[in-house]
Amino acid sequence: MFYLWLRLSQTDARTPAGTGKGEFMRITVISLVALSLSLATLMGCKDQGPTGKAVGTVQRSPEFVQLEKSMWTSLAAYKDSHLVSYAEKLQAAPDDPLALVQTFDNLMYSISGPSGLWRAQVPQQYFGCSANHELPICQQLSKLDMAFLPWETLHVQLSGITTEAEAQEFLEQYGEQLQKYLSYYVPTGKTLAEVQATPFFKDQLAIFLQK
């Protein structure tokens, strides 16, 4: 560009008729500056998507990194029971929000889904509620089925996530709730004793075994 400026300053022959040399130079300089700015903008945006965010990277705050590690650690407690097929991933604990969400998807389906632990296995396998629906604990389990609807709604939202960015946004918003879900509803294993040891069973069902 400096070379072009020098050439323009040394000649009058290229100045259009009726245009002073100074005016022509001024217009040329303005055009060059505009061109420079356009090129700089293009260079700055070459690695960006249509939203202006860097393509292929999702920023992680230190708080989110800690949350992610904590959630993987909590889920690892179930690698020999509810999440056997995820054992390798739980061992690796990758920096991968989408993998973390997918692991929760599987766990929530098996624990509080319509055919999961609390809504099917506990009533039918442990207390025989199909044949003994008049038992107080069976009646209570039937009532508690409605208590899982908010979790089912959250689970539907979680299961629809397909990108890392969506997964991170979801975990940032609901990560603490999911941690509470683990500590309150999810037994360490699948035996009746382990089910009875959960805070959920103690709070909502234990009293009915005494009647």
Name the pTM for this structure: 0.70
Same domain, 103 and 135: yes
102: CB partners within 8 A, 6+ apart: none
In a domain, 55, yes or no: no
What's the pLDDT at 27? 43
pLDDT mean over 35-53: 39
Q: Are residues 92 and 31 in the same domain?
A: no
Q: Which of 169, 59, 181, 177 is nearest to 117 (CA)?
A: 181
Number of domains in the chain: 2
pLDDT beyond 70 at 20: no
Query: Is the pLDDT score of 106 beyond 90?
Result: yes
Q: Are residues 17 and 76 in the same domain?
A: no
Q: Domain check: are 127 and 38 in the same one?
A: no
**pLDDT at position 36 over 90:** no
In a domain, 32, yes or no: yes
pLDDT reading at 102 higher than 90: yes
107 and 11, same structural domain? no
How large is the average pLDDT for residues 1-21?
45
- Average pLDDT on 183-198 reads 96
Identify which of 113, 79, 80 has the alpha carbon closest to the alpha carbon of residue 185: 113
CA angle 136, 181, 133 (to 5 degrees): 15
Query: Is there a domain that residue 54 lies in?
Result: no
For residue 211, give the nearest of 137, 128, 144 by alpha carbon.
137
Residue of 196 and 145 predicted with greater confidence: 196
Q: Is residue 53 part of a domain?
A: no
Q: Is residue 101 part of a domain?
A: yes
User: Does residue 40 sit in the same domain as residue 105?
Assistant: no
Residue 100, pLDDT above cutoff 90 = yes
| In a shared domain, residues 67 and 126 | yes
113 and 38 in a common domain: no
In angstroms, the first-to-last Cα distance of the chain is 92
Is residue 51 included in any domain, yes or no? no
Name the band, by pLDDT with cuts 50, 70 and 90, for residue 57: low
Distance between CA atoms of residues 199 and 114, nearest Å: 20
Instruction: For residue 52, tell me if it sits in a domain.
Output: no
Q: Tell me the per-residue pLDDT of 151-163, one tens digit each, with 9 for 90 and over.
A: 999 999 999 999 9
Tokens of 105: 């998807």
Domain extent, residue 164, equals: 62-210
DSSP readout, the chain? Answer: -HHHHHHHHT-STTSPTT--HHHHHHHHHHHHHHHHHHHHHHHHHTTB-TTSSBTT-----HHHHHHHHHHHHHHGGGTTTTTGGGHHHHHH--S-HHHHHHHHHHHHHHHHSTTSIIIIIIIIIIT-TTT-TTSHHHHHHHHHGGGGHHHHHHHHHHHT--SHHHHHHHHHHHHHHHHHHHHHH--SSSSHHHHHTSHHHHHHTGGGGG-
Q: For residue 2, is pLDDT > 60?
A: no
Looking at residue 185, its pLDDT comes to 97
Confidence of residue 14 (pLDDT cuts 50, 70, 90): very low
Report residue 126's pLDDT band, with 50, 70 and 90 as the boundaries. Answer: very high
